[in-house]
Amino acid sequence: MRAKIISIANQKGGVGKTTTAINLGAALAMRGERVLLIDLDPQGNASTGLGVSKETRHLSTYDLLLREATPVEIAQETDVDNLWIIPATMDLSSADTELMASARRVVHLRNALRLREAPYTYILIDCPPSLNLLTVNAFVASDTVLVPLQAEFFALEGLSQLLLTVREVRTTANSDLRLEGVVLTMFDRRNNLCLQVEEDARENLGDLVFQTKVPRNVRLSEAPSFAMPVLNYDPTSRGAIAYRSLAAELLQRNDLKQVSHV
**What pLDDT, in 10s, does the model give residues 129-171?**
988 999 999 999 999 999 999 988 777 888 888 999 999 999 9
Residue 4 has a CB neighbour count (10 Å cut-off) of 17
The CATH number of 4-260 is: 3.40.50.300
Contact of 137 with 110, CB cutoff 8 Å: yes
pLDDT band at 262 (very low <50, low <70, confident <90, very high): very low
Cα 195 off chain centre by: 24
Angle formed by the axes of helices 133-141 and 155-172, nearest 10° = 60
Residue 102's pLDDT is 83
The answer on pLDDT for 56 being more than 80 is yes
Torsion, Cα of 98, 9, 15, 214 (10° steps): -150
How far from each other are the two terminal CA atoms of the chain, in whole angstroms? Answer: 15
